[in-house]
Chain A
Amino acid sequence: MNELSLGPIGSASLLLALAFSVWSLIAAWVGAVRRDAGLLTSSRLAGVATFLAMSVAVAVMEIALLTDDFSVSYVAETSRAANPVWVKMVTLWAALEGSLILWGWLLSGYWALLALRAPNTPLRPWALAVMASVQTFFVLVPAVIAPPFEVMNPVPADGPGPNPLLQNHWMMAVHPFLMYLGFVGLTVPFAYAMAALITRRPGSEWMLQTRRWTLIGWGFLTAAIVTGGWWSYEVLGWGGYWAWDPVENVSFIPWLTATAFIHSVQVQQRRHMLKAWNLALIILTFSMTLLGTFLTRSGVVSSVHAFGDGPVGPAFLAFFVVVTVISLGLMAWRWDQVRDRADLDHPVSREGTFLAGNVLFLAIAFAVLLGTLFPLIVEAFTGDKVTVGAPFFDAATLPLWMGVLGLMGIGPLLPWRRARWQTLRSNLTWMTGVGVAFAVVAAALGMRGTYPLLTVGLIGWNLASFALLLTAAVVPRVRVGTRSVVQVIGDYAFENRRRFGSMIVHLGVVVMAAGILGSSGYRVDEQVRIEMGETHAFRDLEFTALNTFVEQTEYRIGAGATVRVERDGEVLGTLRPKINSFFGQSMDVPTPDVLYLPLYDVYLNVGAGVREGQDFVILRVVRSPLISWIWVGGVVMALGTAYALTPSRRRERETLSAPEGSQTA
Chain B
Amino acid sequence: MKRLIYGLLGVGVLAASGFLIQRALSDGLVYFVLPSEYAAEPEQYEDRRIRLGGIVERGSIDFDDRELQLAFQVTDSLETYPVRHRGTPPELFQENTGVVVEGRFEDGVFVSDNLLVKHSEVYEAPAEGQHIDLEELKDTLQ
Judging by beta carbons under 8 Å apart, are A618 and B88 in contact?
Answer: yes
Q: Is B142 within 8 A of A385, CB to CB?
A: yes
Task: Decide if A567 is an interface residue (CB 8 Å cutoff).
Answer: no
* Shortest Cβ gap from A238 to chain B (Å): 9
0/1 per residue, A348-370, Cβ < 8 Å to B?
00000000000100010011001
When distances are taken between beta carbons in the complex, the residues of chain A under 8 Å from B2 are 343-344
Q: In this complex, which of A390, A590, A607, A616 has the most chain B Cβ atoms within 10 angstroms of its Cβ?
A: A607
B91 and A609 contact, CB distance less than 8 A: yes
The residue on B at minimum CB distance from A390 is B28
| Interface locus among A110-118, A391-399, A457-465 | A391-399
Contact of A302 among B3, B86, B142 (CB under 8 A): B142
Which of A370, A378, A587, A608 is close to B88, meaning CB atoms less than 8 Å apart?
A608
A243 to chain B, nearest CB (A): 11
Chain A residues lying within 8 Å of B33, measured Cβ to Cβ, are 385
Interface residues on A, range: 35 or more
Known: A344-B6, A367-B17, A385-B142. A527 touches B29 (CB 8 A): no
Q: Give, as a whole number of angstroms, the nearest-CB distance from B64 to chain A.
A: 10
Contacts of A150 in B (CB 8 A): none
Proximity bits, B1-24, A CB within 8 Å = 1, else 0: 011001000100110010011011
> How far apart sit A374 and B30, CA to CA, in the bound complex (Å)?
11
Taking a contact as CB atoms under 8 Å apart, the answer to whether A618 and B25 are in contact is no
**Pairwise interchain contact A527-B87, C-beta atoms closer than 8 A:** yes
Question: How long is the Cα–Cα vector from A367 to B89 in the complex, in angstroms?
Answer: 34
Q: Which residue of B lies closest to A379 (CB)?
A: B142
B17 touches A400 (CB 8 A): yes
Q: Mark A580-618, 1 if CB is under 8 A from B, else 0.
A: 000000111010000000000000000111000000101
Q: Does chain B have a CB within 8 A of A388?
A: yes
- Report yes or no: A388 in contact with B17, Cβ–Cβ below 8 A: no
Residues in B71-112 with C-beta less than 8 Å from chain A: 86-89, 91-92
Given A344-B2, A529-B68, A608-B65, A588 and B30 touching (CB < 8 A)? no
Return chain B residues, CB-CB under 8 Å to A374.
25, 29
Contact of B24 among A347, A366, A387, A392 (CB under 8 A): A392
Give A367 to B28 CA distance when docked, in angstroms: 12
What separation, in Å, do the CA atoms of A616 and B65 have in the docked complex?
A: 10
Whether B10 and A395, one on each chain, are in contact in the complex, defined by CB atoms closer than 8 angstroms, is: no
> A392 vs B29: C-alpha distance in the bound complex, in angstroms?
7
Contact yes or no, B68 A396, CB < 8 A: no
Residue numbers in B under 8 Å from A396 (CB-CB) = 17, 20-21, 24-25, 28
Judging by beta carbons under 8 Å apart, are A359 and B20 in contact? no
Contacts of A616 in B (CB 8 A): 65
In the complex, per-residue mask of A375-415: 1 if CB is within 8 Å of any chain B CB, else 0: 00010000011111111111110011000000000000000
Interface string of B127-142 (1 = CB under 8 A from A): 0000000000010001
Nearest residue in B to A237 (C-beta to C-beta)?
B90
Our pick among B17, B30, B49, B86 for the contact of A363 (Cβ within 8 Å) is B17
Is A563 part of the binding interface, using a Cβ–Cβ cutoff of 8 Å?
Answer: no
- The reply to whether the CB of B27 lies closer than 8 angstroms to some CB of chain A is yes
Bound Cα distance from A374 to B51, whole angstroms: 16
* CB of A92 closer than 8 Å to a CB of B: no
Cβ-defined contact, B68 with A618, below 8 A: yes
Provide the residues of chain B in CB contact with A378, threshold 8 Å. Answer: 29
Chain B residues near A387 (CB, 8 Å)? 29-30, 32, 51
Q: Which residues of A contact B6 (CB under 8 A)?
A: 344, 347
Question: Interface range on chain B: under 10, 10 to 19, 20 to 34, or 35 or more?
Answer: 20 to 34
CB distance from A406 to the nearest CB of B (A): 14
Q: Which listed residue (B20, B32, B65, B88) contacts A399, Cβ 8 A? A: B20
Contact between chains at B32 and A389 (CB < 8 Å): no
By a CB distance below 8 angstroms, the chain B residues around A392 are: 24-25, 27-29
B10:A359 contact, CB within 8 angstroms: yes
CA distance A579 to B88 in the complex (A): 14
Chain A, Cβ-Cβ closest to B10: A359
The answer to whether A579 touches B91 (Cβ under 8 A) is yes
Given A363-B13, A387-B30, A609-B91, do A395 and B24 touch, yes or no (CB 8 Å)? Answer: yes
Cβ-defined contact, B31 with A527, below 8 A:
no
Q: Which A residue sits closest to B66, measured CB to CB?
A: A529
Instruction: Determine if B142 and A388 form an interchain contact, defined as CB atoms under 8 angstroms apart.
Output: no
Which chain A positions have C-beta within 8 A of B32? Answer: 384-387
Q: How far is the CB of B38 from chain A (nearest CB, A)?
A: 13
Q: How far is the CA of A388 from the CA of B31 in the complex (A)?
A: 9
CB distance from B65 to the nearest CB of A (A): 7
With the chains together, A344 CA to B10 CA distance in Å? 14
Of the candidates A388, A528, A588, A620, the one whose C-beta lies within 8 Å of that of B25 is A388
Query: Would B17 and A386 count as touching, CB distance under 8 A?
Result: no
Residues of chain B lying within 8 A (CB to CB) of residue A618: 65, 68, 88
Q: Which residues of B contact A385 (CB under 8 A)?
A: 31-33, 138, 142
User: How far is the CB of B76 from the nearest CB of chain A, in Å?
Assistant: 14
Contacts of A388 in B (CB 8 A): 25, 28-30
Given contacts A385-B31, A389-B30, A393-B28, contact A367 B88 (CB under 8 A): no
25 A-B pairs with CB atoms under 8 Å apart are: A302-B142, A359-B13, A363-B14, A367-B20, A371-B25, A384-B31, A385-B33, A386-B30, A388-B25, A388-B29, A388-B30, A389-B30, A394-B24, A396-B24, A400-B17, A527-B86, A527-B87, A527-B88, A529-B66, A529-B68, A588-B91, A590-B91, A607-B68, A608-B89, A609-B91
Which A residues fall within an 8 A CB radius of B? 302, 343-344, 347, 359, 363, 366-367, 370-371, 374, 378, 384-396, 399-400, 527-529, 579, 586-588, 590, 607-609, 616, 618, 620
List B residues at the A interface (Cβ < 8 Å): 2-3, 6, 10, 13-14, 17, 20-21, 23-25, 27-33, 49, 51, 65-66, 68, 86-89, 91-92, 119, 138, 142
> Ordered nearest first, which 9 A-B pairs have the shortest CB separation?
A392-B28, A395-B24, A396-B24, A385-B32, A608-B88, A607-B88, A363-B17, A391-B28, A588-B91
